Structure 1
Amino acid sequence: MGWLWAIIVGFVLGVIAKAIIPGKQHSPLWLTVIAGTIGGLVGNAVARAVGVGETRGIDWTRHLFQLVAAIIIVFVVDRLYMETLGKRKQRQV
């Protein structure tokens, strides 16, 4: 159940990150979900390292770390995807 929840949160984080990043992102949804999931995991690790991994009530600080990590990772993954896709298209021409 933990992995299913991580994928659902990764989907939500990835979609929110794509909405926040300016411009058009070209990476497919499955790659966005993977990047969002990784962002959630990285955000959790950073929150634990800072000491706010678990608090009473809603962990707004942890969610903020997750969102920031997801934005960075989705941005980087999209750039890498476009660089790889662009090189592949150039070879076909």
Structure 2
Amino acid sequence: MQIDKATLHKIANLARLEITPEEEAPLLQSLENVLSWMEHLNELDTDNVAPLTHISSEINVMREDVVGNHLPREQGLYNAPSQDGTYFRVPKVIE
């Protein structure tokens, strides 16, 4: 597949890229290489291949979420630069 400079600049605009004149030729060649490789993939017979929904067959291996008091409030607030005994005090960010 051939890509012209107008198509390259349209793709660059959509991708919010600025392309210098020196970069045009190598980019055109790279895009043509990628598209020709993709055309080779179209030649493969994928009729009996199930589509993938996930790359890996792994399931969630995270631990169960257990509720508990793991850090007393006083210890959590101990090094806070500003606190009111119950909560961290932070500067107001929304008017």
Which TM-score applies when normalising by structure 2?
0.34
Higher gyration radius (CA): 2
* Highest RCO, 1 vs 2 (Cα 8 Å, sep ≥ 6): 1
